[in-house]
């Protein structure tokens, strides 16, 4: 079994696409519409056939409630793992990202958090090397 797709609710798909591609550096995988529905996914440029992140419009009441609740609690909606969090932090800031928490050492890892501007908290994680 493989994880192929997970969904992230966003309040603006165009803005989310810009953030996840231009600021974070992910690659657009799929973008097509059918009526009022838009299927939009991004993926890691390092694994273009790997897991996809669907950027779904938060017009689903349950999805929107979940998105708002975890954001209000300060919980990340999505986590990305990196081998060099400090370099990624610098690159993302240079691309316009605004961090709520710069790279911070915690038990077993270093984490950083930023908002995507579309209703979500995003966490970067670099695991400690023992």
What average pLDDT does range 23-27 have in this prediction?
98
- Mean pLDDT throughout 79-96? 97
Domain assignments of the chain as residue spans, ordered by start: 5-127
Question: Can you spell out the DSSP letters for 1-64?
Answer: ----EEEEEES-HHHHHHIIIIIS--EEEEEEEETTEEEEEEE-TTSTTS-EEEEEETTSHHHH
Over the stretch 37-76, which tens digit does the pLDDT of each residue have?
999 999 999 999 999 999 999 998 999 999 999 999 999 9
Q: In what order do the strands lie in the sheet with 109-115?
A: 78-81, 121-127, 109-115, 99-106
Pick the CATH number of 5-127 from 3.30.70.890, 3.10.180.10, 3.40.50.800, 1.20.140.10: 3.10.180.10
The reported pLDDT for the residue numbered 130 is: 64
Across the range 23-48, mean pLDDT stands at 96
- SS3 of the chain: helix, strand, coil, percent, to 5: 25, 40, 35
What pLDDT, on the 0 to 100 scale, is given for residue 116? 97
């Amino acid at each position: 079994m493989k994880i192929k797709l997970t969904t992230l609710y966003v309040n603006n798909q165009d803005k989310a696409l810009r953030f996840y591609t231009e600021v974070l550096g992910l690659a657009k995988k799929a973008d097509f519409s059918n009526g009022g529905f838009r299927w939009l996914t991004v993926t890691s440029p390092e694994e273009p056939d790997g897991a996809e992140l669907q950027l779904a419009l938060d017009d689903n009441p349950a999805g929107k409630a979940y998105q708002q609740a975890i954001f209000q609690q300060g919980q990340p909606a999505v986590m990305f793992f990196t081998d060099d969090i400090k370099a990624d932090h610098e690159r993302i800031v240079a691309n316009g990202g605004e961090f709520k928490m710069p790279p911070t050492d915690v038990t077993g890892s270093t984490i950083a958090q930023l908002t995507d501007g579309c209703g979500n908290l995003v966490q970067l994680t670099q695991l400690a090397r023992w």
